[in-house]
Structure 1
């Protein structure tokens, strides 16, 4: 499933409290529920596994996943939460929130069960996530809930955008949870990335960049690629070619000079690198300008 086509439908968005002794009996959902523990503590059982949820915890209940929620404490549990479809479907407005176990689901309701897309690539999110930065997530979630319940025009459209920001934050947090070494070196990696974006006129080496990050060359390349999807040298080359493409399209600067401005010693080296990234020679974009 392509995350770039994400088109969520928000079904319910609430910020409420569970009083002491409150119990949501075991049930299955047709859709997803994203529940955040803001205050208090809850005993949450998912597929017979027991969690003791505390402030900063997130639970992602998935379609057909058995779960129950109990406040066994002496204070209310504040639990902002949303029910949603990850991708809008024609029947999305008609599907209800379930409070029933699977054996009580009526035959006509069986078609309401959504496919669990969160457990497979590209998301691969677990049921329980402990956040590094709960305050940022909390603010985004509460803003979404607040606007959704105002009932303003285009509320569902706003909710889609707010959800995508929230979802992206959650995916990043999960990636950092899975790759703590990446999170611990994040400042070094972003420092190098910033440097690459501002040194488009130079041909840089891995050794220089690794030294800047205070890492071995091998480990630096591994972390950079894991963080940004490409090697540092390829990232730099792509940034240089992108800047060159701008100058080719929007100025009359000769191609040879543009190549020099982005760190290439000859028009031949510039053309080879440009074609490697864009699949066409630099002159292609100059001709498109006319």
Structure 2
């Protein structure tokens, strides 16, 4: 019995600690090949099994993730993001987060976990507090992730220094305040305007996410983040705003009935349209028209059919 216990204790001692799960100070002794920060405690490719996932987890270190293939669902501090091929997402020390693969879809990703020990490093200033950092499929960043993982498997000071160099290059490239990011943002603006036009030209139809992704060449999750940053609202919020604006225009400038107006802006049910309009504007379409005519007597009201 004593011999079995002794063997079990030796096995436990031989197991390498999960450095990525430890407090930064607890990792330094094991990271003897790293002579200075950033200290990388994990860099690997992960093939998620079917229906894999975790929720409400906290790490004590930073973690960068790059999606090689498939789709998943990433949660950070209660906000849920759909992530797909090429997406980079990020979580911070003690930030509540979760990640899961979607049913029937593969999920392969690269994870890099790191810290700076006691050295102050303004990661949040660099990344502006973002959790979703964008889609980088085919970008140099994609290759840097892969190279970092390959080098991390090799021991030695020189390889560790190259890993650190690649990590700092990744953080710089992902920075929303970097020149490259600004250039990418300008490039994306034209795509975002294309998306706006697509939405405005199809108000009678549901939002066609696959078609918008095809037209823009961007993932939906990335579109939401960039659209909000550029215009202050999400694509769905813009669709609602555009429908309301169009409904007002049709009510004032055409003799269409309210049910016909509702159909023109994507509502088959006039009552559902009426509830939406009142919720967003604080008045019904009838009240909107009446208030405008009462204010401006020079407007000739078209024959409005009920």
The TM-score range, normalised by the shorter chain, is 0.3 to 0.5
Larger radius of gyration: 2
TM-score (norm 2): 0.45
TM-score (norm 1): 0.47
Report 1 or 2 for greater relative contact order, CA contacts < 8 Å, sequence distance ≥ 6. 1
